[in-house]
Amino acid sequence: MRGAWRDAGEPARFGSGAAPLRKTGLQADQRDEVEGGTAMNIRRVTPADLPAFLAVMLAAGMDPRSAWNSTTVADLEKSMSGPHSGGFLALDSGGEAVGCVGFRPDPHDPHTLTLNKLATLPQVRGQGVARQLVDEVEGLAAREGFQRVLLAVSQVNLGVRPFYEGLGYRQVDEDYAYSSGKNGRPVVLAKEVAEGRWQKAEGSRAGQ
């Protein structure tokens, strides 16, 4: 292993029978509830998980114009293997990948962690899976000393903006360092993270 990779055991599986949601432009479902939802097994991504991670991304139904659709396993490895970089997978009760999210530091701001590649499969939309994945990234950001999480919403995927705003993200007048530029300037959103919130949550889970 190198960089930020961690060994999490067996690679995640992706169900071949999962039906992709086509031409909706949705990465994460804005209908996902901010509270409640179905608890998933969420764990860090390993190199062996990358094919399943990519399969979830491509089955999420991103707009065909998006650079998202040309992503390869090699691209994922490059973006997730650096310091403070990586990803999370959401696994269902059968151990199959149903959601994913990536993260890496902003190269221009050492206090900012960027969130990317958030996707959920159609069959788990509306169950809070995307919210749980975002929460994992925010918690990691706070624990590792970042002050905020920043993300970009593509001009061909603006339907997800209300989802992020419902989680407390607000538009900022900044450039997104990792933008492909393919579909114009993205809408950039950011949220401050406070370490105390996640320490309290971790303690609460430990006491259950």
Q: Nearest CA to 36 among 124, 161, 119, 129?
A: 129
- pLDDT of 115 over the 70 cut: yes
| pLDDT single digits (tens) 26-56 | 344 333 333 346 678 999 999 999 999 999 9
pTM above 0.85, yes or no: no
Q: Could you give all domains of the chain from N- to C-terminal order, each with its CATH number?
A: 41-206 (3.40.630.30)
The CA distances from residue 29 to 19, 39, 121, 125, 163, in Å, are 16, 16, 9, 6, 7
pLDDT at residue 131, as a whole number:
96
Residue 130 to residue 133: CA distance in whole angstroms:
5
The Cα–Cα gap between 18 and 152 comes to: 27
pLDDT surpassing 80 at residue 8: no
pLDDT digits (tens, 9 = 90+) for 120-168: 999 999 999 999 999 999 999 999 999 999 999 999 889 999 999 999 9
**Contact in structure between 72 and 131 (CB atoms under 8 Å):** no
- Give tens-digit pLDDT for 53-86: 999 999 988 888 888 889 999 999 999 999 999 9
Instruction: Report H helices in the chain.
Output: 50-59, 73-80, 129-143, 161-166, 195-206
- Residue whose pair of structure tokens reads 């579909």 in the numeric block: 183
For residue 97, how many other CB atoms are within 10 A of its CB? 26
Pick the residue with more confidence: 24 or 3? 3
Cβ atoms of 3 and 105 closer than 8 Å = no
Q: In 59-76, which positions are buried (b, 16+ CB within 10 angstroms) versus exposed (e)?
A: bbbbbeebebeebeeeeb
With contact defined as beta carbons under 8 Å apart, do 159 and 195 qualify?
Answer: no
